[in-house]
Structure formats: structure tokens, C-alpha cells
């Protein structure tokens, strides 16, 4: 390995360490209460070292959340636009994709799940806030589209697609929170099967008899 490559890897490792530390502090204290001093203490580095890579606390938060949300958004858009999938399969695949997002990047998921519009409207720039809100609206809309498709095709009963899509998202987040609060090391993990069971119940209620 050359010197340049080694330095690049060291830089990437430091950035990951700072982000991991920031995510832990944001989760524990909330974005508004967290400070760069808190993050530096968690990372066991100087505050000045953080500013070598991130301009502000806002920049750190955005760098954690936006890339993960954008990846999820692209995946949900692809599923929603898949012409060979029926609405039931689309919704199930969207739930699977969201669980993968949670499983692969739990820090970003937890920061998104704790998003408070009133708080972040004061703390994030308009450009960053609009970007995050746009991604979240898009993700909700993909589920809404699949529900509308099911209604138009006669597979689903006539319901309000938007309200139903919110119910789907809230069911997902509620199961995650409930199961996380009860997880014990070495014990069975019921997160995915419980989410699958919850979505199956919602879909059963949607289907025309």
C-alpha cells in the first residue's frame, strides 16, 4: 500500500469515527442539545480536529442522514415503478427495503425516526431542511402510490391512500421501537417477523373480500 492510499484510508477511518460519535451523541441528547464539544469528547479528539472534516454540527448531522435517506429513496422509487409487481408485493418489498436501511445504517435510521419538524426548522439551513423533507415525503409517497394502484386495480378496498401509507410507516417505526426496548443479548430477535406480521395484518384489512 502506498503512502497516499494509506493516508486516504486513515482519513476515511477518522471521518467514520467522528460520524459514529456524532450519531451516538445526537441519539442520546437530541440534535439541539448536542454540542461539538460533546462529540469531540465522545470521539476522544479535539474539537479542532472535527472542524478539519465538518464545518458545523448541522453539516455533521446532514452528512449522516441525507446519504442514507437518498439511497432508500432511490430503492423505493424503483420498487414503486416496477411494472411486474402487484401492489401487495410492492408494499412488502418497500417494507423489506426500509428494514434493510434500518439494519445497515441504524444510526441514520434512528436520527430520521426522531426528526422533529419544529426543532429542525430552526436549526438546519432552508436548503438542507427542504432536501430532507423532500426525501421523506418521497418515501411516504411511494407507499401511497402502491396503495392507490391497489385501489384502482380492484385489489384493495377504497381507503384514503395517504392516511393508510402513514399507518404503514408508523407501524414499522412502532414495532422497531417496541422490540428494541425489549431486546436482550443472546435472546431471540423478533423485529423482522413482527414487522412482517404487522404489515400482513394491514394488507389483509386492505384487500377486498
Most confident residue range from 63-72, 151-160, 182-191: 151-160
Considering the chain, what percentage of its residues have pLDDT values greater than 90? 60
Alpha-carbon distance of 198 to 177, in angstroms, equals: 14
- How is residue 158 annotated by DSSP? S
Considering the chain, what percentage of its residues have pLDDT values greater than 70? 99
Is the per-residue pLDDT at 157 higher than 90? yes
Secondary structure (3-state) at 82:
coil
pLDDT at 152: 95
Across 109-123, average pLDDT: 79
pLDDT at 1: 64
CA distances from 160 to 76, 139, 141, 165 (A): 20, 17, 13, 9
- HSE-up of 173 (CA within 13 Å, CB side)? 14
Phi-psi region of 30 (alpha: psi -120 to 50; beta: other; left: phi over 0): left
Give pLDDT tens digits for 137-154: 999 999 999 999 999 999
Torsion of CA 120, 191, 64, 41, to 10 degrees: 90
Enter the pTM of the model. Answer: 0.85
Across 171-198, average pLDDT: 89
Task: Specify the length of the chain in residues.
Answer: 209
Q: Which residues pair with 156 in a beta bridge?
A: 207
Domains and CATH numbers, the chain: 1-54 (1.10.10.60), 56-206 (1.10.357.10)
Amino acid at each position: 500500500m502506498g503512502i497516499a492510499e494509506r493516508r486516504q484510508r486513515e482519513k476515511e477511518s477518522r471521518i467514520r469515527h467522528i460520524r459514529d460519535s456524532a450519531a451516538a451523541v445526537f441519539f442520546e441528547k437530541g440534535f439541539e442539545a448536542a454540542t461539538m464539544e460533546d462529540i469531540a469528547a465522545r470521539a476522544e479528539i479535539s474539537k479542532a480536529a472535527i472542524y478539519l472534516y465538518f464545518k458545523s454540527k448541522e453539516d455533521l448531522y446532514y452528512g449522516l442522514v441525507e446519504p442514507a435517506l437518498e439511497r432508500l429513496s432511490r430503492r423505493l422509487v424503483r420498487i414503486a415503478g416496477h411494472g411486474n409487481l402487484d401492489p401487495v408485493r410492492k408494499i412488502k418489498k418497500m417494507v423489506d427495503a426500509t428494514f434493510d436501511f434500518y439494519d445497515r445504517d441504524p444510526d441514520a435510521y434512528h436520527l430520521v425516526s426522531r426528526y422533529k419538524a419544529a426543532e429542525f426548522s430552526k436549526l438546519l439551513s432552508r436548503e438542507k431542511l427542504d432536501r430532507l423533507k423532500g426525501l421523506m415525503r418521497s418515501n411516504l409517497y411511494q407507499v401511497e402510490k402502491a396503495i392507490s394502484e391497489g385501489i384502482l386495480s380492484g385489489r384493495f378496498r377504497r381507503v384514503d391512500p395517504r392516511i393508510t401509507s402513514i399507518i404503514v410507516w408508523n407501524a414499522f417505526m412502532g414495532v422497531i421501537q417496541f422490540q428494541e426496548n425489549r431486546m436482550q443479548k443472546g435472546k431471540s430477535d423478533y423485529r423482522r417477523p413482527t414487522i412482517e406480521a404487522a404489515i400482513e395484518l394491514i394488507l389483509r384489512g386492505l384487500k377486498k373480500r
